[in-house]
């Protein structure tokens, strides 16, 4: 027989406090047992859901580590969103096609925004005449016909306001630019009208229905063309410094096509469309074509206004490449500060980010975007030295201007980079989808090769890592 000490040890070693706590309480009724077992079942299910969620999060984090991560940087109006759309068109054409009709609404809003600017200038002219000399002879170039045109087009403004409030979820969005919150929710809201067309709509719903806007635009097409082509209106716009042709999202010259009832946006139209995103937006997609189709990309687009640049730093971590857009708009100043030249501001941003040690291993790719706009201004005889005195008496042609600024960016890149790295730059025209696709293909291949090298998966035939 085992001695007393052995029996005691055996008894203690078999004691399980957890098992005791899980035992049913004494005198438990059948109803209490059912409730207890159901609570235990739910607790187990919650635990499994948590474990599954954690496992999925780990998979997502691991997948993101192996994905290609790109950060789009540049001023507001530099063309970051257009470059992103070109990425979509070049490498995910099927996905791009599903959003074509969504961009139709944005283009219609862009057109109405231009009309809104014209009507605002006309209204200012009429108010100035009434305020300054109500009894004086009317010497304005505007006539009763202009008042008729303005009155016939004014209903468009209500549609613009309603749709802007719908997709921005913010009644204070206002202004002349389509403004949305980060994420694709605004696209779903526009698309939802097509899916629920058979449902009864309130008057407010109808004013926010993109199909209603299309019909009103088609009905007003002739009036829009007449207003825009009117000589007196053009002179008044120029006198007040309003140059609509230089605005992003300018479609007045295409009114006959864009305002047609059967209008379907061309690729170039979608690239030209103007929409402003408040805050930071991350876009994830898997390439359908191009170098190494099936590669997962995460492209982060951050707000370029000067007041938001302090928020860029948290997004520098773990980026394989930065695409920096710098339109050579030497004749423009910042909207936030009219004393700061746009190109000089781009140079200062470039100097700061290439010198940032958090980005020492990040590839930088400089895009001199909006090449077509630069060519138009040079062809019109706009002198560079008037806006950039340091340009001096160099030739006032596109090649010389591009080289001058390229050398400036290259010098900063060489001087301030924490470690030596190649200076890579391209000249792009966002609305030229074919040439931009070729450039983006080269960019994609270069980024992926560098990324795979970092992941230790590119080797030479001899087995040595490149």
Q: Using one digit for the tens of pLDDT, what is the confidence trace for 164-179?
A: 777 765 544 456 677 7
Min mean pLDDT across 76-80, 378-382, 390-394, 452-456 is at 452-456
Min mean pLDDT across 231-235, 256-260, 431-435 is at 431-435
Domain co-membership, 446 together with 330:
yes
Is residue 374 situated within a structural domain? yes
Res. 342: pLDDT tops 70? yes
Res 183: pLDDT: 64
Res 17: pLDDT: 61
Res. 48: pLDDT tops 90? no
Annotation: binding site: 277, 369-372, 430
CATH of the domain at 449: 3.40.50.300
Where does a domain end: 272, 301, 323?
A: 272
Is residue 14 situated within a structural domain? no
Is residue 54 situated within a structural domain? no
- Determine the average pLDDT of the residues in 427-440: 78
Q: What is the pLDDT of residues 325-334, one digit of tens each?
A: 999 999 998 8
Res 25: pLDDT: 75
Is residue 422 situated within a structural domain? yes
Domain co-membership, 220 together with 309:
no
Q: Sorting pLDDT into bands at 50, 70 and 90, what band is 275?
A: confident
- Determine the average pLDDT of the residues in 191-216: 58
Is residue 417 situated within a structural domain? yes
Domain co-membership, 244 together with 358:
no
Domain co-membership, 74 together with 158:
no
Where does a domain end: 272, 300, 323?
A: 272
Domain co-membership, 79 together with 118:
no
Annotation: binding site for GTP: 369-372, 430
Res 404: pLDDT: 96
Residue 425 CB coordination number (10 Å): 18
Res 346: pLDDT: 94
Is residue 39 situated within a structural domain? no
Res. 416: pLDDT tops 90? yes
Considering its fold, how many domains does the chain have in total? Answer: 2
The pLDDT mean for the chain works out to 80
- Determine the average pLDDT of the residues in 349-354: 93
Name which of 249, 279, 247, 280 is nearest 265 in CA terms.
Answer: 249
What percent of the chain clears pLDDT 70, i.e. is strictly above it?
79
Is residue 71 situated within a structural domain? yes
Is residue 188 situated within a structural domain? yes
Res. 190: pLDDT tops 70? yes
Domain co-membership, 354 together with 228:
no
Partners of 323 in beta bridges: 72, 365
Q: Sorting pLDDT into bands at 50, 70 and 90, what band is 345?
A: very high
Res 171: pLDDT: 44
Domain co-membership, 70 together with 181:
no
The label of the residue with tokens 């864009």 reads 258
Query: Are the CB atoms for 222 and 255 separated by under 8 Å?
Result: no
Domain co-membership, 219 together with 245:
yes
Annotation: binding site for Mg(2+): 277
Min mean pLDDT across 152-161, 233-242, 384-393, 444-453 is at 444-453
Res 350: pLDDT: 95
Domain co-membership, 164 together with 255:
yes
- Close Cβ partners of 187 (under 8 Å, ≥ 6 residues apart): 99, 102
Half-sphere exposure of 173 (CA within 13 A, CB side): 22
Nearest 5°: CA angle at 419, between 311 and 360?
A: 25
Domain co-membership, 320 together with 298:
yes
Residue 343's domain spans which residues?
65-92+287-454
Domain co-membership, 242 together with 346:
no
Domain co-membership, 205 together with 326:
no
- Determine the average pLDDT of the residues in 390-395: 94
Q: What is the 3-state secondary structure (H, E, C) of the chain?
A: CCCHHHHHHHHHHCCCHHHHHHCCCCCCCHHHHHHHHHHHHHHHHHHHHHHHHHHHHHHHHHHHHHCEEEEEEECCCCCHHHHHHHHHHHHCHHHHHHCHHHHHHHHHHHHHHHHHHHHHHHHHHHHHHHHHCCCCCCCCCCCHHHHHHHHHHCHHHHHHHHHHHHHHCCCCCCCCCCEECCCCHHHHHHHHHHHCCCCCCCHHHHHCCHHHHHHHHHHHHHHHHHHHHCHHHHHHHHHCCCCHHHCCCCCHHHHHHHCCCCCCCCHHHHHHCCCEECCCEEEEEECCCCCCCCCEEEEEECCCCHHHHHHCHHHCCCCCEEEEECCCCCCCECCCCCCCEHHHHHHHHHHHHHCCHHHCCCEEEEEECCHHHHHHHHHCCCCHHHHCHHHCCCCCCHHHHHHHHHHHHHHHHHHHCCCCCCCEEEECCCCCHHHHHHHHHHHHHHHHHHHHHHCCCCECCCCCEC
């Amino acid at each position: 027989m085992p001695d007393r000490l052995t029996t005691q040890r055996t008894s203690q070693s078999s004691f399980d406090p957890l098992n005791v706590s899980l035992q049913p309480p004494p005198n438990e009724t059948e109803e209490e047992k059912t409730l207890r077992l159901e609570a235990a079942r739910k607790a187990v299910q919650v635990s499994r859901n948590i474990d599954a969620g954690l496992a999925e999060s780990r998979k997502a984090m691991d997948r993101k580590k192996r994905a290609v991560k790109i950060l789009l940087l540049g001023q507001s109006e530099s063309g970051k969103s257009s470059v992103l759309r070109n990425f979509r068109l070049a490498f995910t054409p099927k996905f791009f096609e599903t959003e074509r009709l969504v961009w139709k609404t944005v283009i219609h809003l862009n057109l109405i925004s231009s009309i809104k600017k014209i009507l605002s200038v006309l209204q200012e002219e009429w108010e100035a005449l009434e305020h300054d000399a109500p009894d004086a002879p009317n010497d304005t170039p505007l006539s009763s016909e202009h008042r008729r045109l303005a009155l016939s087009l004014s209903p468009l403004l209500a549609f613009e306001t309603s749709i802007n409030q719908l997709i921005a979820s913010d009644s204070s969005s206002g202004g002349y630019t389509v403004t949305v919150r980060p994420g694709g929710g605004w696209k779903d809201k526009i698309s939802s009208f097509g899916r629920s067309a058979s449902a009864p709509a309130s008057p407010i719903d109808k004013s926010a229905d993109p199909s209603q806007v299309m019909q009103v635009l088609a009905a007003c097409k002739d009036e829009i063309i007449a207003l825009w082509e009117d000589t007196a209106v053009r002179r008044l716009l120029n006198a007040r410094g309003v140059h609509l042709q230089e605005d992003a999202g300018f479609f007045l010259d295409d009114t006959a096509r864009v305002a047609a009832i059967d209008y379907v946006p061309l690729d170039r139209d979608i690239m030209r469309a103007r929409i402003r995103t408040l805050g930071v937006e991350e876009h994830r997609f898997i390439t359908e074509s191009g170098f190494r189709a099936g590669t997962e990309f995460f492209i982060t687009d951050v707000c370029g206004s000067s007041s938001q640049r302090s928020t860029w730093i948290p997004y520098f971590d773990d980026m394989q490449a930065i695409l920096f857009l710098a339109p050579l708009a030497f004749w423009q100043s910042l909207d936030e500060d009219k004393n700061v030249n746009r190109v000089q501001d781009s140079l200062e941003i470039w100097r700061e980010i290439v010198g940032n040690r958090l980005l020492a291993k990040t590839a930088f790719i400089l895009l001199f975007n909006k090449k077509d706009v630069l060519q138009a201004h040079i062809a019109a005889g706009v002198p560079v030295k008037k806006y950039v005195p340091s340009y001096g008496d160099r030739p006032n042609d596109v090649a010389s201007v591009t080289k001058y600024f390229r050398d400036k960016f290259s010098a900063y890149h060489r001087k301030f980079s924490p470690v030596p790295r190649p200076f890579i730059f391209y000249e792009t025209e966002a609305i030229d989808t074919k040439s931009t696709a070729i450039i983006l293909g080269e960019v994609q291949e270069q980024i992926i090769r560098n990324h795979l090298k970092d992941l230790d998966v590119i080797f030479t035939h001899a087995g040595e890592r490149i």
